[in-house]
Structure 1
């Protein structure tokens, strides 16, 4: 059957959906929104996880780098300490060797000095034995030939000074001092070979007065001096004596 025609002036009829369809649409839209929200949440969780993994990886790499740096520093420190220890040991070893060498040198020097002293002592003892066994004339001849040298004695020669000796010295030296225009205190040092009888056998200039004439006359004047002779083992022996000869000598 054909539906009736609408009358003029009536509003057109509006088609409406049934309530069940609208509910279904709303449910679908809600499900879609939930699905979108769930996907967004999963994406957020995944992004957070990726960020966390990246941060952890970076921290791990930085920790590894720091550990490598620390290990390298530790190795360098150990190597430096080993080098310092070796250098210190080498220095100590060198110092010990030097100390040992110095000690050996000191011992060797002491031994040499001891040998020299022993040889000198033996030489002096031999000379003393020879002099003691020799006659005064033989010893005097040897001393005259050898010149001024040390002779062992128990008591040295002593000048016997009296007015006669003083007068003799004055009358010998004073004319030369006046003739040469010398100072009254001019002196010369002479080695005097004193015989076992106290007389002067020979003279040798040790320090000149600066005037050869005075030195020569002083030597002649000294030949007139008399000494108490030197003694060794109770015997008079010849000996060289160093004296200053001057007009004012005592």
Structure 2
């Protein structure tokens, strides 16, 4: 590993909390070198100074290094069901909901939950736990800037209300950011908090083995209060919800018995 890249990694970690050494070096170095050459920088030292002096370049660097691309309001129809059916039911039982976005990646999902809930109650009354195993994804989530492609499904009114255009990026409003607490967590190894009204874990379990999925469904079910809801992704239908103490509430929504 060249010295200037090593120094660059150390400087970026100190400045942003993002640890580039967790990524495959050859791949990441290639991505970043092509960006700095395109921008007219000579080496990584120069490039780091540029990033620190130019916010637009900093966001472009973040976009280039992000491998896991997620979206706001992914599968928008399901979020409509959440807003119109599931949340009113949950709020009729409990005015202040305990909500967890599990495997939250770069933050699109927990921020979507907050924006959907903001149609029903004030943002100041909303608090969401968001966890992921990837510290870099969490660091990106806390920055809260996203490329246009992440916002394709966001309703226009919500976009106008909660996003500000900054060059080629969209910055999410601080009022939304304040509703979410991010923590590092390994879903398989770590214990879960209890008594959640709503757990959202979407488009993640497809990467796990059947055995791991079984373990996680059991853990999620135990972490829900009776009557609480588990919301999964559109490739992750649970075919035997009863074996986890759950019943189907709607497509991709499961209620704890």
Larger Rg over CA atoms? 1
Give the number of the structure whose residues are more often strand, by fraction.
Answer: 2
Q: Give TM class, smaller chain.
A: under 0.3
Larger relative contact order (CA 8 Å, sep ≥ 6): 1
Give the number of the structure whose residues are more often helix, by fraction.
Answer: 1
Taking structure 1 as the reference length, the TM-score comes to 0.23
Taking structure 2 as the reference length, the TM-score comes to 0.22
